[in-house]
Structure 1
Amino acid sequence: MKRRKFIKYTLPTIALPSFLGGFNFRALAGGPILEALQRGACDPDRILVLIQLNGGNDGLNTVLPLDQYSNLALARPNILISESKALKLAYNPATGLHPAMSAIQNLNNEGRGKILQAVSYPAPNFSHFRATDIWLTGSDSNKFETTGWLGRYLEKENPGYPEGYPNAANPDPLAIQIGSVLSPALQGNVVNMGMSITDPSSFYNLITGSADPTPNTPYGHELTYIRLVAQQTQQYAASVKNAAASGSNLSTLYPATGNSLSDQLKIVAKLISGGLKTKVYMVSLGGFDTHSNQVQSGTGNETGSHATLLGRLNDAINAFTDDLKKMGKGEKVLTMTFSEFGRRIRSNGSTGTDHGEAAPLFMFGPNLIPGMLGNNPTIKSSHAVGDNVPMQIDFRAIYTTILKDWFCVEGSELVDIMLKTFNTLPIFNTSTATEETQPGLEDELLAPNYPNPFADNTKIRFKSQGEKVYLVIHDSLGREISVLANQYYPTGTHEIDFVTSDLSTGVYYCTMISGNYKKVIPMLKAR
């Protein structure tokens, strides 16, 4: 391991006194907050799964601003779904999801999903090809880059690649694209840092054999390099095949047919189960360029091409997260959706929508701060044909946050990878520990509070394994509201009544820490 990586993965556990600065170290010693910080060392086995929604997803038909519904009905009279059919979010009843997204609603309500509103970039481009290129390279809209944001990251982490790879420290592909074409997001300065596969078995079907020596000429040097890459591909093919052979899918929720995204994520889950150390996976779902027939007229606008696509996304995410949880890998994997742009505020005359600016994206995984980042877009009573949802979040700030808080990239390298400085966002909890826990154990320790939403009080039920339990309530700004528990509890189920009559309405978060276990649940005080 390189010295820099050793420091990155171990420093948080050995440098706490200087990290805590002026805080009284003895006052925190042995406490749950310090224990959480000590567990916050970066896990080198973390994985990022990117889901590309090709075509430009209609955000206003995906995440509905219910507090703007009357004006939205004026702008989209021929495609808007019924307000009563929207799936409301427990932490924000002013926001609803498309009725095809019930599993994603549940993941968000349980604190295992997160919505980031109105994501785009300054001076957006509305060409599919150029906009996709901007998202994959992380460039400004007026600049053209030849490397991808993940390619630059993987290049920093693996200098000299592909020479010397695979090796004992990196025996597996650095990144995998499920499909026939490698994403520009994985492009490095010299080579693409990933490999594309359609399925592990066919990928292994590569030609091997002896070859004549190469001449000492420019052509010979190029041929030597080509052979190196081919040999490396063969070696990686073996590791992929072995992982597929030893891995298994434990979820029974994958659709049998008709869902290509589910098929791709099923492969990813199987490779993760088989122990493949690949850090980045990319999958995709096409069809989101819904200029016409976005909804099926006469059905309440709840069916149609967009509903079908969102249903496929919902079912694929549901099965994938269930699979990861059952195999005990859910704490290692962060999944994120993205699309090259959103759609305009007004619908068109073909029961569709045209290319627009900002749109929401989804995240699923461990240690996400529950809730929605950003606000519902404001919809006016009258909009011009070309009006767009304005940007609230630059997508490159999301990339920066993933690199820093998920992959623990050092600040000095962030600018090199992201090409300029972007602020990080409050996406992850302070501690991103990812210790393995017994599959299914998490949901048994801290249950969702009830009732939720609540008025003057709510009950918090948890299970103790005979260890010390720390329960704390924070508001949406991260301020501590109340410590409900900080003591040892006997093995079994316990319940605490949290009185909230003096609190303002809004979203609150209950955090439980016990041993190696940590979970945060969102709670909504409605009145």
Structure 2
Amino acid sequence: MKRRDFLKYTAPATILPTFINGFAVKAFGSSSLLSALENAAADNDHVLVMIQLVGGNDGLNMVVPIDLYDKYQAIRPNIAIPQGKLLPLVNNVKTGLHPAMSGVQQLYEEGKVCIIQSVGYPSPNYSHFRATDIWVSGSDANEIVETGWGGRFLDTQYPGYPDGYPNDDNPDPLAIQIGSIVSPAFQGANANTGIAISSATDFYNLLDDVVDPVPNTHAGVELAYVRLIAKQTNKFSDSIKKAAQNVTSQSEYPDTQLGRQLKIVARLVAGGLKTRMYMVSMGFFDTHASQTQGGDNTTGYHAELLKELSEGIKAFMDDLTKLKASRRVVGMTFSEFGRRIKSNSSMGTDHGAAAPMIVFGDYVQQGILGTSPDIPDSGSVADNTPMQYDFRSVYASLLEQWFCVDNTTLQSILFKDYQRLPIVSGIACGTITGIDDVNNGSKGLITNYPNPFVDTTTLKYKTRGGHTMIQIFDTMGRLVGVPVNNMMAGGEYTAVFDSKKLAAGIYYARLQNGVYQEVRSMLKVKV
């Protein structure tokens, strides 16, 4: 979505600050008031909760590579987390969590967390606005898509929306954003499929029938009339209020931005609202400077953000468990990009490429999917974490394994047939191989010789058969070549990578074959 189109959709959005007794609902201005408000959800038990980490999260300090710790410490000496302070993960000696993330660590030990390493996309964009748009639309870096991936999914489940919605069978919103603007992720072909609860205050005003007083003037009479019409027009207020009132007690949450948002989501889910997708957000993760506190790299601004994230997720899952609604929910984190491998002189990190995602829930497969990110021996501030998994593979996997979307529909939603990853247990929809099997099967798949090389190098690779692809990336994450992209029989093959037109430096060869993938670093040198 172009910047001007985003502003076109959001700036004229329907905004009624005192909507239904203080419950502010906003919908994109591309549809009329009635069609924007008449959204509903189908009767589906599974819920996806997305947590947006605004600003670009430093994944390398959140999920730390213990097996590459010496390289990690050498390349970011002024912000590296001391190895002895890292939180260990059960049955995993290669990875540790930031010490502020004890809540996520506990959920991992309970078998409710999957961490996906180095998630990104080819040729990443480093603009906050454009990178966010790519993630929420599910587009390639070089294309503009006017709809969101969530909106396209909901369009397939509710054809013709918003005409005829809500109705007796579908009285609830399809998607809810806790925040002032509905996410473009929910933009469908005809209308945005989501509504926004602008704040926790507005939510509780709705439940308590709190109404801001109107002045005793002619304008006050008109304002009261507008509020009355808005309340009559809004088709969601009764179902939202009913669901919330079904929950009379909740567990304790941290008094943070994320904690307040997730508490609302838990109440609506446990109260029986059939909304299928929720979006919450927190920030700001743009840590160019003062990421850690001088003298103690376990503290500082980034540590505070990670603590808020971890405590919020833990409280959310504990609350849902107590309310007997946790089996309905899978959650995931995402950020528009990661940070550079090498820290800068301001005790921070600059805009980068790939970063880990955290997926959590009762039916999530426990484990670390992928390997520790490749860290060069002597890196520069331009070096980025090479992508192991495309973010749309995560979307495809969740849609297939949590919402039981078939392959044909998946390709219509995401435009391509993306690699599927073992994220959700087969209890939900029937699934694929386990994480350990995928990780073990993703070793020794690709080598190259000679290495280092001058102009050309031969890629030697193995495939189990089926679609096989090799992508070549530079240290900025740019896709510079695709020497293999075919349906193949199982076996061992070779391909030549010709780099005559490329500068000397480090390159990454990424092989993908079904659920398996491996990244190989290669060094081009000058004659």
- What TM-score, normalized by structure 2, do the two folds share? 0.68
Cα deviation for residue 232 of structure 1 reads 8.7
Unpaired runs of 5+ residues, structure 1, are: 1-42, 208-228, 435-473, 480-527
Q: Residue 185 of structure 2 aligns to a residue in which SS?
A: helix
Q: Distance in 2 between matches of 1:427 and 1:273?
A: 23
Change (3 A) 1:137 1:475: closer
Q: Which residue of 2 aligns with 1:108?
A: 108
Q: Which residue of 1 aligns with 2:266?
A: 269
Q: Distance in 2 between matches of 1:247 and 1:174?
A: 20
Q: Which residue of 2 aligns with 1:88?
A: 88
- In the alignment, structure 1 residue 364 sits paired with structure 2 residue 360: yes
Equivalent runs, 1:326-365 vs 2, <5 Å? 326-365=322-361
Cα deviation for residue 201 of structure 1 reads 4.0
Cα deviation for residue 367 of structure 1 reads 2.3
Q: Any conservation in 2 of the 1:206–1:234 contact (CA below 8 Å)? A: no
Q: Which residue of 2 aligns with 1:120?
A: 120
Q: Any conservation in 1 of the 2:365–2:424 contact (CA below 8 Å)? A: yes
Q: Residue 50 of structure 1 aligns to a residue in which SS?
A: strand
Q: Any conservation in 1 of the 2:162–2:190 contact (CA below 8 Å)? A: no
Give a deviation string over 1:320-352, Cα, whole Å, max 9, x none.
000010111111100100000000000001100
Give a deviation string over 1:122-173, Cα, whole Å, max 9, x none.
1100000000000000000000000000000111111121221111221111
Change (3 A) 1:345 1:249: farther
Q: Which residue of 2 aligns with 1:325?
A: 321
Deviates more, 1:105-114 or 1:79-88: 105-114
Change (3 A) 1:153 1:433: closer
Q: Distance in 2 between matches of 1:422 and 1:169?
A: 33
Q: Which residue of 1 aligns with 2:436?
A: 476
Q: Distance in 2 between matches of 1:171 and 1:377?
A: 46
Give a deviation string over 1:276-300, Cα, whole Å, max 9, x none.
111111000011000001000012x
Query: Which amino acid in structure 1 is aligned with residue 292 of structure 2?
Result: V
Cα deviation for residue 423 of structure 1 reads 2.0
Cα deviation for residue 431 of structure 1 reads 2.4
Deviates more, 1:158-167 or 1:232-241: 232-241
Change (3 A) 1:180 1:206: farther
**RMSD value over aligned CA atoms?**
2.6
Q: Any conservation in 2 of the 1:201–1:241 contact (CA below 8 Å)? A: no
- In the alignment, structure 1 residue 157 sits paired with structure 2 residue 153: no
Cα deviation for residue 202 of structure 1 reads 4.3
Q: Distance in 1 between matches of 2:298 and 2:435?
A: 35
Q: Distance in 2 between matches of 1:367 and 1:68?
A: 30
Equivalent runs, 1:198-237 vs 2, <5 Å? 198-199=199-200, 200-202=203-205, 234-237=234-237
Q: Any conservation in 2 of the 1:165–1:232 contact (CA below 8 Å)? A: no
Q: Residue 319 of structure 1 aligns to a residue in which SS?
A: helix
Cα deviation for residue 476 of structure 1 reads 2.6
Change (3 A) 1:249 1:379: farther
Q: How many positions carry a matched residue from both structures?
A: 377
Q: Any conservation in 1 of the 2:51–2:332 contact (CA below 8 Å)? A: yes
- Counting aligned pairs with the same residue, the percent is 52
Q: Any conservation in 1 of the 2:330–2:363 contact (CA below 8 Å)? A: no
Cα deviation for residue 94 of structure 1 reads 1.4
Q: Distance in 2 between matches of 1:322 and 1:290?
A: 30
Change (3 A) 1:240 1:283: same
Q: Any conservation in 1 of the 2:374–2:386 contact (CA below 8 Å)? A: no
Q: Distance in 2 between matches of 1:113 and 1:232?
A: 43
Change (3 A) 1:475 1:140: closer
Change (3 A) 1:475 1:363: closer
Counterpart among 409, 420, 425 of residue 421 in structure 2: 425
Change (3 A) 1:475 1:322: closer
- In the alignment, structure 1 residue 374 sits paired with structure 2 residue 378: no
Q: Which residue of 2 aligns with 1:404?
A: 400
Unpaired runs of 5+ residues, structure 2, are: 1-42, 212-228, 440-527
Q: Residue 476 of structure 1 aligns to a residue in which SS?
A: helix
Q: Which residue of 2 aligns with 1:295?
A: 292
Change (3 A) 1:475 1:423: closer
Q: Distance in 1 between matches of 2:118 and 2:75?
A: 18
Q: Any conservation in 1 of the 2:117–2:372 contact (CA below 8 Å)? A: yes
Cα deviation for residue 380 of structure 1 reads 2.2
- In the alignment, structure 1 residue 186 sits paired with structure 2 residue 186: yes
Q: Residue 426 of structure 2 aligns to a residue in which SS?
A: coil
Change (3 A) 1:76 1:147: same
Q: Residue 322 of structure 1 aligns to a residue in which SS?
A: helix
Q: Distance in 1 between matches of 2:438 and 2:395?
A: 23
Q: Residue 432 of structure 1 aligns to a residue in which SS?
A: helix
Q: Residue 88 of structure 1 aligns to a residue in which SS?
A: strand
Q: Distance in 2 between matches of 1:246 and 1:280?
A: 20
Change (3 A) 1:289 1:332: same
